[in-house]
Structure 1
Amino acid sequence: MVDRPRDLPRDLATRMAQRSRPADGFLRETFVLPRPAARAKAKEFLEAWPKAAYMSSVESWRELPGDTIEFTMRRLPSAD
Structure 2
Amino acid sequence: MRSGGRRPFDAFRRAPGSASRESDGWKRETFVLPRDAARIKAREILDRFPRAAYLTEVEFWRELEDGRIEFTMRRLPTSD
Normalising by structure 2, what TM-score? 0.75
State the structure with more CA Rg: 1
How do residues 17-56 of structure 1 correspond to structure 2 at under 5 angstroms?
17-18=15-16, 19-22=18-21, 23-56=23-56
Q: Secondary structure at the match of 2:15?
A: helix
Note the residue ranges of structure 1 that are not aligned, 5 or more in a row.
1-12
Note the residue ranges of structure 2 that are not aligned, 5 or more in a row.
1-10
Q: Percent identity?
A: 58
RMSD: 2.0
Normalising by structure 1, what TM-score? 0.75
Aligned pair count? 67
Runs (4+) of structure 1 exceeding 6 A deviation are none
Give me the whole-angstrom Cα distance separating, in 2, the residues matched to 1:42 and 1:72: 9
